[in-house]
A and B are shown apart, each in its own frame.
Chain A
């Protein structure tokens, strides 16, 4: 009997129903769940009581059971100063425990790789476990290979291309990479610290800009959390439109990624085609809601914009035409022998490593893990659709590119399928689509917890919301898929070529600001 609460994502539960475990029990329960093929979705600390930021801490964990379609929620009794680290037994926790240590000044005892994550400013009233020297972002002790043949290459945080800032430290032997250490935190804005309180229109705006390319993913996860806590159910038309927008976001990003992968090996035709076609998908988002990134589309209780008969037909027609073009552009890439020679066997991440690290999204599926929130934890209109999870076993750049290609086809099918069930008369009725305006936020259940899971285009997005006794948000935890996957990139580079790093990096295409929050 595992002392944890099993629940469906999207159902609110009173916090009192979740058993409070002491340190040993907490560790045993986590390991027992991991032994049943559950993986970590979120691990975080929250003060107890929630309103007292300087109070004692409870550790909360959310483990996802993909096979059963449920999540297990655990919490510890209040701890003081330190807690038992489980990283050496469950490597997928390593970054979560470092995050807790850094945010709350508690020491994970026995953590094998205790280093800062985001270098946030210290919380008043809490000491830093890293001492006072961690003032500037990126200042920490990096792992070093020594010896006359080893050399170190430092890249970033300022890069040659227009990309987000991050620091990469390579330990190399000639052209071979012995180890890569990734140090982020340059984009830390303090999102989670800004969220407690009563949700308002700005909360949604904050969520939509959490990672700019995942507007729909994070916006939807937040709205579902609010709906779950306030007992609202959006109408089916709104759910269909949400699916359409989420899949359009996936289409635009996957198409852009495939183009960029071609660009990184210097193969210009696919780069040029996909650059334009990504814009076509973004324009379809704009066709629905006026924003190419889907800003303002999803809101608690429904969607902000409808879709009339005329635009539905236009959407369907342009979607099919763009898919045909994308297929052509990708076929050119597959037919290019020189590109394929670069893609195959580059940046291999084994299934074992991917499992141990708790990878999510296309990167996990490219290493043979059948994980897809849309399939395993279907919500909204996904409950009505049946589809297989596209996976590959190679775990290399080629596999990650192929999974994206397969998902592009699948997304178009999902959209067309969902649109065929859309009643245009109902879908253009604003009162029906968004019963509640963003200006009048919902009343939330008190002392409750809810877990919200969405499959963003990068992978699983997990939001956990804890409400206080007054029905305000007491603690809001955001886990971007990048938080799980960054270390996967570091492992994929081991024994690889340093000149293949940009290609590997692009094949994961992780978010810096989603990680840094």
Chain B
């Protein structure tokens, strides 16, 4: 079917709506001028000055560490939660429990952030690096739990039974059979958790303390004083990282798909 002029217009408008702000941000990161909205020629100046901006670099480093640690903790806890929810026998209130895991997804971030803050205050914990990690772990683990849970629902339990039957104790069965097979979902959960932690502003700003300023908090506070092209530069780098991540992920699934189709052909050709 030939695409009509209408289709092309709608498509163009849609993509323009999505990407024009990003394109502007990227273009102005290469601006030689100090003024964000006036083009003064091409320059990599702001990338260089960004590297020497210690406050920004510190914040980036804090964000990376918070992201890795909270995503890892969230993945472990979320995977365990998913296992418990899928595998546990039916008991009264099971629906309530499985519903409760979704609650943080729809909870306004302000409330999650505030409630964590109140908890830390009540416990007398000094806010800083670790409180941000704990706060991020609590909200990312639900996302991991949901991703892993959907994989576990289609997991063939007889694989585990076969391992048990062949003499493999339950814990070893989990590590030798279950985990390798649900690993794609676990990794996807980790990446989701990492990304969520990376761009969270609200929860982090409630629970952070001195010396633990994350990148979103830093950017936000700098923007309040006026946008500098340095911000554009660091945002461009973030966009680049995310784009590479998405491309790598989709290429590897594409390759796996091609391999699967080839395997099936092989099996059919030499079928007994």
Report if A and B associate in a common complex: no
